Amino acid sequence: MTEPLGKDLLGLEPLSAEQIRLILDTAEPFKEVSERAIKKVPTLRGKTIVNLFFESSTRTRISFEFAEKRLSADTVNVAAQDSSVSKGETLVDTARNLEAMRIDMVVIRHGASGAARFLAERIQSNVINAGDGKHEHPTQGLLDLLTIRDKLGRVRGSKVCICGDILHSRVARSNIWGLLKLGAEVAVCGPYSLLPRGIEELGVTIFRRIEEAIEWADVLNVLRLQLERMNAGFIPSLREYYRVFGVTLERLERAPRELLILHPGPMNRGVEIDSRVADGPHSVILHQVTNGVAVRMAVLYLLAGGRPEQAEAAKRGREGAE
């Protein structure tokens, strides 16, 4: 029996392989819901969900919103721009206010690593981390895993190289945890200045040259160069980055096998990825976006039910029901 997910989804690091598989398996039937003429099921009717975004986001916020609406939850979007108040204090106040409004779940994106956990420890509602600083972005990690499983038939044994700005990337961290737990071989590739120190201790291989990564991998997960975080001189120039690390058609044509190309978006075409690759036959970038809604529906569904004390009471009341 798989251990339930518990109250919150804060990252993939605390989850077991079984729990990750449970989410991926649960996502499968939700894919079909989005293909129906009426793309809606009444599962979360009456639940109120707040999407609390302290950082701007288009794709993730819309994806969560679709997932929530397709499960019939009521949603409120709060786009809180950076405040001058220190982040800890802001969050405590926000948390108290939300609780006072009797909500059921919070989806939070925040620039500070650990913000989701901070919130989760202070409110009774379920908390889903939609990206916290450089820490984790678990639903992105899950949708990447689901996409790899869809396309390769398995995650175990596949060779996945995460390329680019690993240092600033919560997507990289969630990917590394999820992939390792499910038995993939994981590598990273990027300029030395964009690799976190000690990353090899997690059990990942480091490639210095993109050509080596392409020769080794089944899957490239090409990360966005986070231009807004790049004012500290991590790379000489964007053109230089593309010349040395860009995932180009010419480089892919020399690969010994067909590669799967993932990108969490939004893309910087001509910086980390060649337009011809992004739009080419190896790209599964739009499949990732489709899977994102299914994975988020699965997470909402798994967290929303399962209040253990109610489950016990209900079981006593109706043993032997259908």
Partner 1 sequence: MTGALERSALLDAPAIARAIDRIASDIVTLAGGTERLVLVGIQRRGVELADRIGARIRDRHGAAVEHGALDITLYRDDLNEIGPRPVIGETRLPRTLDGRIVVIVDDVLFTGRTIRAALDQIADFGRPARIGLAVLIDRGGRELPIQADIVGERVPAGPHDRVDVLLVEVDGRDAVELVRRPPP
* Positions marked active-site: 59-60, 87, 109, 137
The token pair at 115 is 């913000």
The token pair at 33 is 């819901």
Shortest Cβ distance from residue 38 to partner 1 (Å)? 5
Shortest Cβ distance from residue 178 to partner 1 (Å)? 19
**How many Cα neighbours within 13 Å face the side chain of 295?**
27
Measured CA to CA, the distance from residue 134 to residue 117 in angstroms comes to 14
Shortest Cβ distance from residue 249 to partner 1 (Å)? 39
Helix (H) or strand (E) holding 243: helix 238-245
Residue with the two structure tokens 């916290």: 132
Nearer to partner 1, 43 or 113 (CB): 43
List of residues contacting partner 1 (CB under 8 A) = 2, 4, 22, 25-26, 28-30, 32-33, 36-38, 40-44, 71, 301-302, 304-308, 310-311, 313-316, 319-322
List CB contacts of 230: < 8 A, sequence separation 6 or more: none
Local structure of residue 196 (DSSP, 8 states)? -
The token pair at 171 is 């997507």
Shortest Cβ distance from residue 66 to partner 1 (Å)? 16
Nearer to partner 1, 5 or 148 (CB): 5
Nearer to partner 1, 260 or 299 (CB): 299
Nearer to partner 1, 70 or 263 (CB): 70
Shortest Cβ distance from residue 146 to partner 1 (Å)? 15
Query: What string of DSSP letters covers 74-129?
Result: EEEEEE----SS-HHHHHHHHHHHHHHTT-SEEEEEESSTTHHHHHHTT-SSEEEE
Q: Residue 256, preceding bond cis, omega within 30 degrees?
A: no
Phi, then psi, of 195 in degrees rounded to 5: -105, 130
The packing angle between helices 17-33 and 138-152, to 10°, is 80
Nearer to partner 1, 29 or 280 (CB): 29
